[in-house]
Structure 1
Amino acid sequence: MSEANPIRMPAAATAVPSHPPAAEGLWSAVRGYPARAFLICLAGVSLENMDQALFAFVLPQISKELGWSVIERGWYIAVTYSLAGLGIASLGVLTDRAGRKAVFSTSMLVGSLFVTAMYWARSTWSMVVLRTTGFAMGGIMSPVVGTIVVEESPPRYRGLLTGILQIGYPIGWFLASQLAVFVMVRWSWRQVFFVSLLSVPYLWVIRRYLRETPAFEAAKAARSAAVEGGGVAVQPSMRDLFAPDMRFRTVVLFLGEYFHVFAYGSTILLTAYFQEYRGWAPADSVWLVGWSYGIGAIGYVLAAIVGEFVMKRRNTIIVWAWLGSVAFAALIWWTESWAATAVAFCLMTVFFYGTTAVKFTFIAENFPARLRATGVTFSGSLAVNLGVASGPLALSYAVAHLGWPLAYTICGILPIFVSGMFFLLLPADPIGVREDEALAAPRA
């Protein structure tokens, strides 16, 4: 990075304070535009997750029609998520250059259209192209809306709001399950992809009611001023994440997220597990998964509250992850009936998936403002997509050789525990926040 007139996004605009907020002042602090931006982002990311979940709910039917084996199905998921992850990483840098709003709206439109186009896919190749492109364009939305909420929320409540924002994931999967069952029962599994068109009109809401964040506008103006004044406008780069003072946290955050999502990736095949191992009907398995996600949203909110008011976010991540691994073990080894399975699944989503409500904020807090979107994209979104890619692939090989229960123990339960161990290596107080606060402090 050049040292001539380096341009940094104003730290005071995006730093997340380390002191605990006061719960009683929440509404008065967020009313007005901060609440509007939060709700627009929550609805948008819920719709995006709804679109992407449709694929998972009809995966057994896709595999059957295209003649995939268990291992071939795993490779399909691995290839599409790996390629999409690289695309998302590239788009993350674009977010710090082109703007949050532009990438948000483009992601909503293009992602939805490519998911819908999967209706016409009749070969493995076409499925790979459409799924990869659709997920890359839709998947970038998560770090983008998270960055918007971080930058638009009142400083004392940014952690809480970015945590609650993560319920867009279970809400999206719940909506997808209900609509998928409705369509599958009345028509066929292919028509399920048309549900994605419901997201397209939301583009108007984004364009009409969401503004570009002041923090981005300030950074853009500063870069322009530097160029006009003969200086050098430093653009954010992935290379900056591996500078000596950034390398350790970047890698550890990536690995902690990767192992967590490796386990999550294996759960994409739970619908197949219920149908192929337990012999459940497609509608029953989709219904259970969807409702468990919906109920699991409680865990996201609870984790966000605990991580904001009770424990430090890092500690909440570890406790929630390890409780989730116990619930996962109960789901695989100790349940047989639909009711018992539902209880274990709900507990797993409350804790295992619920850590997401804290992880995004914790990862964001570990990067300084000038690299926040880029850092979240690498250590967050790229790790997510590579984990989601390799988890199902590893599980597929394990199922072929060990059977479903042992496969889920190795590829689901144990990686959650390992993820918690990586987060233990990081300071409980995020480094990026301290750097931003130091930059924002008045100098003598």
Structure 2
Amino acid sequence: MSSIADGSSVRYSIAARLERLPMTNYQRALFGIIATAWFFDSMDLGAMTFLLGSIRTEFGLSATQAGLLASSSFLGMFLGAAIAGMLADKFGRKPVFQVSMVFWGVGSLMCGLSDTVTMLMIYRVVLGFGMGMEFPIGQSMVSEIVPAKSRGRYIAILEGFWPLGFIAAGILVYFMMPIVGWRGIFIMLAVPSVFVFIVRRHMPESPRWLAEVGRHEEAESIMTRFEQRVRQALGGIALPPVVETFKAAPAAARKAGFADLFREGYARRTIMLWILWFFALLGYYGLTTWLGALLQQAGYEVTKSVFYTILISLAGIPGFIFSAWLLEAWGRKGTCVLMLLGSAVSAYFYGNAASNLVAPGQLIAAGLCMQFFLFGMWSVLYAYTPELYATRSRATGSGFASSIGRVGSLLGPYIVGVILPVAGQSGVFTLGALSFVVAAIAVAILGVETKGRALEEVSQ
């Protein structure tokens, strides 16, 4: 085994040792801890889709004001994603991951205790800040503990907890809204943060990151425990031999920081990801945040609008499953372009169906297609992004991509509120469709393929 004093050797030894491990219940348990937070984050954020119409009615908000309220969480997410990524690359994944729970829980609780729309906006920003911290760290941690042959599938499955949380939020609102009101829903959603905070204490720090920043003894210690737990999960049989099949840059050439995202070999990837995240999230949140409210405005009663939104969201489950399979069978780049173009076409047809008050069956069919591709798109975004950066800057790169995306998600709901009175629902969904097309073009021209390659190999 490589000497601990030899930083470069330890770095590659840790990576090679992780890559050769088979997937066991131990790695799946760690994955489950991360995925649980994804699920509850989705519930908190998705709740606004189902509650916006009622909140708008209670406070007498205009379309523009409702758009601002819907966008407030994304301001917090913009700040949280950028800051957390840099902090996680400097201080570690685990401590920053834990701190995010505090902002998330307090923000959700205070949303439920808000008696003015201004206070509600402020605490939606706090809630969003905690959520924004989650995403780049969760992506990075899953990427760094799951071997290359399974990495894309597991990150896609991680993102699959997003539609599950969104659907769960709709079900919660459907049954509990008449009993506790929208404030009670937010208070209920604060409770899981305590559970997740406690469970996360069992997460180890990323040995890849520890080796990368020179904390070699800690990296070796955690890696050894990691291997022991995997061996126990396999019933005590011997682990596969370590095979180092890739090389990386010398340690002296490695400098972490924001500028690292634009160094030779990374600038093109960063530009592609920023365009992708901005336009994908502009389209996604501009449309989905307003789904329930738009159906109500089109003439559907509150309970029906919530029911229809839940129903069409069910297509997100096969959407992310199909995307998770296609990521490994076909590749990241092609799957990403397919999901974006599918989202564009289906969003356009859904917008026309909703605005023309067609038969519910046609509306639901168009909505099912739209959610299938939208949630498939999310799976690719989260699988693809962290693979494009080296360990030293993975959380920073993922964080800033996510943060740029939050600018799009911040603008999306607001833009919808502005153009809705002018262009109507068909115009709103056409704008969303065009956003997805722009994102697809960026990936097709600037994207690189990462399927089946070790992180250290891709980082070259």
* Category of TM-score, reference length = shorter chain: 0.7 to 0.9
**SS of equivalent to 1:403:** helix
Q: Which AA in structure 2 matches 1:258?
A: F
The residue that corresponds to 1:202 in the other structure is: 196
Match of 1:315 among 307, 310, 334: 334
The residue that corresponds to 1:253 in the other structure is: 273
Q: Which AA in structure 2 matches 1:328?
A: A
Counterpart check, 1:187 vs 2:194: no
Contact 1:8 1:369 in 2 (8 A): no
Match of 1:420 among 416, 440, 457: 440
CA deviations over 1:388-436 (Å, ceiling 9, x no partner): 11111221211121212122212x1111111101111124424996882
Contact 2:285 2:409 in 1 (8 A): yes
Counterpart check, 1:359 vs 2:375: no
Counterpart check, 1:271 vs 2:292: yes
The alpha carbon displacement at 1:274 in A equals 0.4
In structure 2, how many angstroms separate the alpha carbons of the residues matched to 1:92 and 1:132?
18
CA deviations over 1:4-55 (Å, ceiling 9, x no partner): x99999467569x9xxx9xxx9xx9211321111111112211121122223
**SS of equivalent to 1:429:** coil
In structure 2, how many angstroms separate the alpha carbons of the residues matched to 1:343 and 1:187?
32
Contact 2:7 2:211 in 1 (8 A): no
Note closer, same or farther for the CA distance 1:56–1:148 as it changes in structure 2 (3 Å cut). Answer: same
Aligned pairs, how many? 417
Note closer, same or farther for the CA distance 1:35–1:87 as it changes in structure 2 (3 Å cut). Answer: closer
Counterpart check, 1:110 vs 2:103: yes
The alpha carbon displacement at 1:130 in A equals 0.4
Note closer, same or farther for the CA distance 1:124–1:224 as it changes in structure 2 (3 Å cut). Answer: farther
TM-score normalised by length of structure 2: 0.83
Q: Which AA in structure 2 matches 1:390?
A: L
TM-score normalised by length of structure 1: 0.85
The residue that corresponds to 2:419 in the other structure is: 398
Q: Which AA in structure 2 matches 1:242?
A: F
In structure 1, how many angstroms separate the alpha carbons of the residues matched to 2:119 and 2:268?
39
The alpha carbon displacement at 1:373 in A equals 1.1
Note closer, same or farther for the CA distance 1:194–1:294 as it changes in structure 2 (3 Å cut). Answer: farther
Q: Which AA in structure 1 matches 2:80?
A: G
In structure 2, how many angstroms separate the alpha carbons of the residues matched to 1:438 and 1:53?
34
Counterpart check, 1:291 vs 2:311: yes
Counterpart check, 1:171 vs 2:164: yes
In structure 2, how many angstroms separate the alpha carbons of the residues matched to 1:65 and 1:367?
46
In structure 2, how many angstroms separate the alpha carbons of the residues matched to 1:290 and 1:272?
13
Q: CA RMSD in A?
A: 3.1
Counterpart check, 1:407 vs 2:428: yes
Counterpart check, 1:49 vs 2:81: no
The alpha carbon displacement at 1:293 in A equals 2.4
Identity score, percent: 23
- Runs of at least 5 residues in structure 2 that lack an aligned partner in the other structure: 1-5, 219-250
The residue that corresponds to 1:300 in the other structure is: 320
In structure 2, how many angstroms separate the alpha carbons of the residues matched to 1:286 and 1:12?
52
Contact 2:77 2:131 in 1 (8 A): no
Note closer, same or farther for the CA distance 1:327–1:56 as it changes in structure 2 (3 Å cut). Answer: same
The alpha carbon displacement at 1:68 in A equals 2.0
In structure 2, how many angstroms separate the alpha carbons of the residues matched to 1:322 and 1:101?
36
Match of 2:257 among 229, 232, 237: 237
- Runs of at least 5 residues in structure 1 that lack an aligned partner in the other structure: 226-230
The residue that corresponds to 1:139 in the other structure is: 132
Contact 2:143 2:387 in 1 (8 A): no
Q: Which AA in structure 2 matches 1:142?
A: F
The residue that corresponds to 2:246 in the other structure is: none
The alpha carbon displacement at 1:105 in A equals 2.5
